[in-house]
Amino acid sequence: MARRIPYALARQIADHAQAEAPKEACGLLAGDGRAITRAIPLRNSAPSPGDHFRLAPEEQLAALKEIDADGLEWTGIYHSHPRSAPIPSRMDIEEARDAKLLHLIVSLERAKAKLKLWRIDGDSVTPIDLVFEGETRADADDQFSLRHRIAVVLAGIASLLLLVAISVSLLPPPPELAALP
């Protein structure tokens, strides 16, 4: 079954991955059976955080209490692949102990971060559809910024025209030309 995720939350996870790169970033996911509504970043306490992640235990405990206090369910774990595809590695599969927890992987392999959700049950790895909410088009933010830039340019032109109009109206009336002898 597909899971929904607000676009802003996906953005938050991708930003965390980018901030930690070239180390792997990791954290907890919470929500319910249909949607991921919270992501809590945790410290990666793995001895080699460049190609592995381990949720810092003391931070994980605090995050779980926070999830519980907010009436949410702990539904998954996210981590990043700074240089590879968003596909579970051998280590990710071996270390996934609880089949009920979904695994969200953020790949920074390409210029645009890519998120993929997986169910790992023993050796069986199944992709789960992730439905982005709020912004359905992946390039919606680029579209917005283009429109925004056009608006800024138009506003600039309008204020320039207004300024010209004001300075023309403030000019003293043209002196009468002296009659040439």
Judged by beta carbon, residue 4 or residue 114, the one nearer Zn ion is 114
CB atoms within 10 A of CB 143: 11
Tell me whether residue 12 or residue 89 sits nearer to Zn ion (CB atom): 89
Closest separation between CB of residue 87 and Zn ion, Å? 8
How far, CA to CA in Å, does 48 sit from each of 52, 53, 75? Answer: 6, 8, 26
Radius of gyration of the chain measured on its C-alpha atoms: 27
Nearer to Zn ion, 3 or 54 (CB): 54
- The burial class, CB within 10 Å (0-12 / 13-18 / 19+), for 21 is middle
Only one of the segments 32-40, 58-66, 89-97, 142-150 lies at the binding site for Zn ion (rule: CB under 5 A); that segment is: 89-97
Choose the binding region for Zn ion from 3-11, 82-90, 154-162, 166-174 (rule: CB under 5 A): 82-90
Single out the residue of 49, 36, 110, 138 nearest to residue 78, CA to CA.
Answer: 36
Nearer to Zn ion, 53 or 74 (CB): 53
Q: Which of the stretches 15-23, 38-46, 55-63, 85-93 binds Zn ion when contact is defined by CB under 5 A?
A: 85-93
> Residue from 4, 15, 89, 135 that binds Zn ion (CB under 5 A)?
89
User: What is the closest distance, in whole angstroms, from the C-beta atom of residue 107 to Zn ion in the complex?
Assistant: 10
CB 43 within 8 A of CB 56: yes
Residue 17: its H or E element: helix 7-20
- Residue 22 · residue 41 · CB < 8 Å: no
92 binds Zn ion (CB under 5 A): yes
- Shortest gap between Cβ of 82 and Zn ion (angstroms)? 10
Does residue 125 belong to the site contacting Zn ion (CB under 5 A)? no
Smallest distance, Zn ion to C-beta of residue 84, A = 8
The DSSP bridge pattern shows strands 102-107 and 73-81 to be parallel
Which residues contact Zn ion (rule: CB under 5 A)? 89, 92
